[in-house]
Amino acid sequence: MALRHTWEADPSARVLCPSVLAVRFRFSPSAVFGSREDGRWAAGAPRAPWLPRLPAPSGVWRPCQHCGARNWLLPASPRVLLMEHLFMYHLMLQHPAGFVVVAFHLQRSVFWGDIALDDEELNIFHIDRTIDLTQNPSGNLGHTTGGLGDHGISKKRGALYQLIDRIRRIGSGLEQNNTVKEKVPLKFSGQNEKNRVPRAATSRTERIWPGGVIPYVIGGNFTGSQRAMFKQAMRHWEKYTCVTFIERSDEESYIVFTYRPCGCCSYVGRRGNGPQAISIGKNCDKFGIVVHELGHVIGFWHEHTRPDRDNHVTIIRENIQPGQEYNFLKMEPGEVNSLGERYDFDSIMHYARNTFSRGMFLDTILPSRDDNGIRPAIGQRTRLSKGDIAQARKLYRCPACGETLQESSGNLSSPGFPNGYPSYTHCIWRVSVTPGEKIVLNFTTMDLYKSSLCWYDYIEVRDGYWRKSPLLGRFCGDRVPDVLISTDSRMWIEFRSSSNWVGKGFAAVYEAICGGEIRKNEGQIQSPNYPDDYRPMKECVWKITVSEGYHVGLTFQACEIERHDNCAYDYLEVRDGTSENSPLIGRFCGYDKPEDIRSTSNTLWMKFVSDGTVNKAGFAANFFKEEDECAKPDRGGCEQRCLNTLGSYQCACEPGYELGPDRRSCEAACGGLLTKLNGTITTPGWPKEYPPNKNCVWQVVAPTQYRISMKFEFFELEGNEVCKYDYVEVWSGLSSESKLHGKFCGAEVPDVITSQFNNMRIEFKSDNTVSKKGFKAHFFSDKDECSKDNGGCQHECVNTVGSYMCQCRNGFVLHENKHDCKEAECEQKIHSPSGLINSPNWPDKYPSRKECTWEISATPGHRVKLAFSEFEIEQHQECAYDHLEVFDGETEKSPILGRLCGNKIPDPLVATGNKMFVRFVSDASVQRKGFQATHSTECGGRWRAESKPRDLYSHAQFGDNNYPGQADCEWLLVCERGWRLELSFQTFEVEEEADCGYDYVELFDGLDAAAVGLGRFCGSGPPEEIYSIGDAVLIHFHTDDTINKKGFHIRYKSVRYPDTTHTKK
């Protein structure tokens, strides 16, 4: 084989003979490895115990005439062993003088986008995994294309040889500038590979999922909205094909939605023998991308890797990112089978024109022009194409008749109904509704050939997702079956005919009903139509029962229900028992996921209600049987306190004690219970350094209606802002489940902390290394007016020293009565000179499918400024999904100042005028924290005068407050050439001084202060009207730091004025 890539054992090794592989090695003692002086392979020679024996290929080692006495040339096609260790690969070859270990580097590619990986390739690249081709050259690892001729290896190539082939194709074209040249196909002596029909689905039957059923698990690191989107993508494949995705129970082979370093990548087809990953990495969690990755799972390679792709697209290799060239290699003819389908430019499995491009506008794949001279679009990530659907249906041998029904109601009938059905017909309908719903099937007509046991023509209904599900009934003849009801959310309906008898056939309708009794130890419940919007006027009641002696645990994956303070419209109600009279656990709505729920018995009652107006995505929850370890006689082995958690438990200690090393027993510690109105607490050993491995808990309790304030006098702990080692935590309440005010360390003294109620918990922890001086803090109590009836506030009551004030949660505004709250519109008009704006639901994650606008207006003559303090919006290169847009004007049609997304805090944005329009948009998938920004004003700027008068004020709060001190503002007023400016002072009150040396207004007839002066003004009373000679006037307003006055108001416009005087006579 002709390898032109350099593999080096050390930096001095060189390839001087381009037709062979030159390696440099150290000779090993012949006693260990065996040798032959004639340069032939030593058959059966002893070997080191850690190296595998490599059978001798034909060929002779010979010295390299140009490479030096200790360099030898290797004949073609040696047996190799490829191992991976931190992406340094070792090629082990057998030489007459012993084994040669040749180390060479392969560039580790960063997966910037979607990658389809063969199972064998992933095995090869698996750390610490060794593949020895000599042990099984034609086994499961190998594809079956090509032969190796007379080298005695095999007529079938292994997967590793194909991988080496791919690596060689890249390496052979690499130059020093990493530009990839045209590939050189690997050729073996002997029989040539046969030409095959172009094929893009897998050609290996073992990679097809049996029955088209694909079990799945979604990793716990994904959010509720991401889970919902994954299910939408799976339902998309189900709707148009006959594959079925089910939540895994005990199936051996299944897929796992996870996040791997490769980003967006997946196995192609079924791997078998355990789980296989489908990686949905950062920025991959989009509907179209997930549909694409599921295409790999089903068994599809990328469309552009088909063997016949060169007839349809051109790969522009110089535009490909270094290290990503292998994503554009053609598949071998025996690896894929397109099942007779034409090349599909519209396939969701096709790369876009700039995928893995060095630049956004550089093509890596260029489609050929069609008959009209137009290059078709490629790389869509919206939906399955007609070609995708046709190929998937062929791959899984879907019946030509039947479909997947996903609506809440529908109908189905035999082909040709009511005019008779053809013989030898096979149809399958798969009805799939929302988990937590059941399917009611009602046959309206039945006219099939009747036979014993319905042997010939029949319709079969099964309670589940496939042909092995429990049988609900097998029907033929003309008797209409009774109504059939599934026990879960799926139903399988199969129709077969094999007789020549002609009858009407059958017709049936189905409907999904929500609610009902559920007697299982685990399962899933979702609102109707989830993850799409639930339907109006729905009421669903579920009664869940698990095994005796257990409790029902309920965890929510997602919740998006119409928001209201009292959940009066749409809501989910959960009760601890079996009926609507059982104790209420909670009534939930809005966008926040409810906390985990645990019943006190083995039953739980749930009701979902929607009204006739606003509809949202709804909720998704899992239920399971839960055990209370703390209820056992030994209380989980805890000495003092046992705290039960959902799925587990933990031990705790009373105040003044701390957990021992076994995490169950308690021992004396610092801290304790403090009931005085004021006092002092310090770290152990104060004022000396605190000891290591201490855990101190102080619980401060004041009388009812009092709140506790904590002020630190001195503070010095190990650590910085991370607070990973030594720290102190302050909580409003006596347990760690209370509100955390802060976690503090380092040398910065915390601000004063005030509790929410009449108790406070202070916890200090030190590790076993560095110790500091610690802290000293004083606490005191103040009566809390908010503790009684929340101070009359609807939402939040904020206690202040001697008083209180009401506040509203984010998304609401305070009513005029200063106590009630009303929901804030997502369209706000802001006229205040400064303030805060933030994304909806701040500081929690913003909701999906939201559009909010802010129209900010400043005082005329002052520009709006927007400065961001926090910013976290879903990242995209073009901010195509969630984004914030800022416009230089009062509408979205104004010039845009920026379209923002990502995690980097943007630079401040300043409008050119006194209007700014801000719009925030979120899509249906990823949510982030959002943003918080401060809007303010800046004086000065360039302003254009028109014939219609405009206003200019000295400061933003003109009329409410005097102008500020130490101000220097410059306004440049301009108009069209041939026109002049007229300035009329409506109000004027500036600090008076004989020479106007303190505060003053100065005007210049031109673009800057070098122009002719029009006057410097101060004092009270407006100056006379002023006219410019030119088409620009500069206004300079200066104030010192002492006396401030009301300021001034100027009205200006452009006029045609022939006179050259500056003031009106």
H/E run at residue 392: helix 386-395
Phi, psi of 390 (to 5 degrees): -60, -45
CB-CB contact of 364 with 354 (8 Å): yes
Residue whose token pair is 């002092």: 680
CB-CB contact of 151 with 58 (8 Å): yes
Q: Tell me the one-letter amino acid at 71.
A: N
DSSP string computed for 824-875: PPSEEEE-SSSEEEE-TTTTSPPPSSEEEEEEEE--TTEEEEEEEEEEEB--
Q: Tell me the one-letter amino acid at 738.
A: S
Q: What angle do CA 393, 399, 405 make, to 5 degrees?
A: 85
Name the packing angle between helices 287-298 and 224-240 (round to 10°).
Answer: 50
DSSP annotation of 827: E
DSSP annotation of 133: T
What are 613's two structure tokens?
Answer: 């107006």
CB-CB contact of 845 with 925 (8 Å): no
Q: Tell me the one-letter amino acid at 275.
A: P
Nearest-angstrom CA–CA distance, 829 and 133: 71
Residue whose token pair is 């090393």: 661
What are 894's two structure tokens?
Answer: 């104004």
Catalytic residue among 238, 293, 874, 1002: 293
Q: Tell me the one-letter amino acid at 955.
A: H
Nearest-angstrom CA–CA distance, 347 and 233: 15
Annotated binding site: 292, 296, 302
Q: Which of helix, strand or coil describes residue 287?
A: helix
Polymer length in residues for the chain: 1065
Q: Is the dihedral of CA 147, 149, 154, 160 positive or negative?
A: negative
Output the CA–CA distances (angstroms, integers) from residue 681 to 150, 530, 744, in the order listed.
Answer: 87, 53, 16
Annotated binding site for Zn(2+): 292, 296, 302
Please count the other Cβ atoms lying within 10 Å of the Cβ belonging to residue 680: 12
Nearest-angstrom CA–CA distance, 521 and 139: 43
Please count the other Cβ atoms lying within 10 Å of the Cβ belonging to residue 864: 26
H/E run at residue 8: none
Nearest-angstrom CA–CA distance, 412 and 419: 15
Output the CA–CA distances (angstroms, integers) from residue 270 to 206, 219, 234, 334, in the order listed.
Answer: 7, 19, 16, 17
Question: Residue 263: how many CA atoms within 13 Å on its side-chain side?
Answer: 13
Which burial class, exposed, middle or buried, applies to 516 when counting CB atoms under 10 A from its CB (0-12, 13-18, 19+)?
middle
> Per residue, what are the HEC states of 165-225?
HHHHHHHCCECCCCCECCCCCCCCCCCCCCCCCCCCEECCHHHCCHHHEEEEEECCCCCHH
Phi, psi of 852 (to 5 degrees): -125, 145
Nearest-angstrom CA–CA distance, 477 and 458: 8
> Per residue, what are the HEC states of 576-630?
CCCCCCCCEEEEECECCCCCCEECCCCEEEEEEECCCCCCCCEEEEEEEEECCHH
DSSP annotation of 467: T
Pairing label, strands 437-447, 505-514: antiparallel
Does residue 729 carry a catalytic annotation?
Answer: no
Radius of gyration over every alpha carbon of the chain, rounded to an integer in angstroms: 38
Phi, psi of 281 (to 5 degrees): -85, -165
Q: Which of helix, strand or coil describes residue 144?
A: coil
First to last CA, the chain: 100
Q: Tell me the one-letter amino acid at 236.
A: H
Catalytic residues: 293
